[in-house]
Structure 1
């Protein structure tokens, strides 16, 4: 899409991405890496919430209730 195109209204990340990474193999690799990172973030978030729930069920859960401080 040309920059002076009448259809162009505002900034579009996909257009910028397509103009920047024109080679299909690089685009596929970038998309795969992006999906991998998103998947890892989701797994870490799931792990964090699971661990948080497990810690709350322990008998000494009150020790983990507040922020950790050095005494």
Structure 2
């Protein structure tokens, strides 16, 4: 999927072909950040525990920012 997105960006002229690897890695990094948040929000919705979900997502974001 990431190759399709990068190919689409190249086809539209948004990025240069020499930047292909950089954008593929950026998409991987974005996926690593988004998947746990979506998972937590789903379970927060399912269990109707919005306060705990918000605390978890906020804590996860802070730890992720400072730990790399």
TM-score class normalised by the smaller sequence = 0.3 to 0.5
How does the TM-score come out when normalised to structure 2?
0.41
Q: Which structure would you say has the larger Rg?
A: 1
How does the TM-score come out when normalised to structure 1?
0.40
